[in-house]
Amino acid sequence: MIALPNIANFFVSCHSKRVYRKSTLMVIQKKKFNKIKMILLEKEKTSLWLANKLGVSQTAVSKWCTNRNQPTVETLFEIAEVLEVDVCDLLVRKFRI
């Protein structure tokens, strides 16, 4: 029987064709999309517009839209109100298989 490496410990970069060792499967499963970003695009609004409406910096909104940071629960409700969507529309649901 051939021993195969644990797929959770590897991440292949399509751009550089190098193999990077990672400790969790989270990197492989990380989504490239963001609900706030998607809704902004659908409503033809910018992150600067959202930042001005919420009274926060454009950097904060940018971090939310790139998944580098997450808004607080209170801010999430404010975002939903400004974007005129249900707060559930801003959440990513995970399903178990």
CATH of the domain at 57: 1.10.260.40
What is the pTM for the complete model shown?
Answer: 0.63
pLDDT given for residue 87 in this prediction:
93
pLDDT given for residue 92 in this prediction:
74
Question: What residues pair up with 10 in beta bridges, in sequence order?
Answer: 21
**Given phi > 0 = left and psi -120 to 50 = alpha, else beta, which region is 85?**
beta
Q: Are 24 and 55 in the same domain? A: no
- What are the per-10-residue average pLDDT scores of the chain (97 residues)? 43 38 40 83 95 97 94 96 94 68
Q: Are 44 and 67 in the same domain? A: yes
> For residue 90, which of 29, 32, 33, 27 has the smallest C-alpha distance?
33
Q: Are 25 and 48 in the same domain? A: no
How many angstroms separate the CA atoms of 54 and 82, rounded? 8
Q: Are 17 and 56 in the same domain? A: no
Q: Which domain holds residue 55?
A: 35-90
How many angstroms separate the CA atoms of 50 and 36, rounded? 10
Helix (H, G, I), strand (E, B) or coil at 76: helix
pLDDT given for residue 96 in this prediction:
60
Report if residue 62 sits inside a domain. Answer: yes
Q: Are 12 and 25 in the same domain? A: yes
Quickly tell me which residue has 């797929």 as its tokens.
Answer: 7
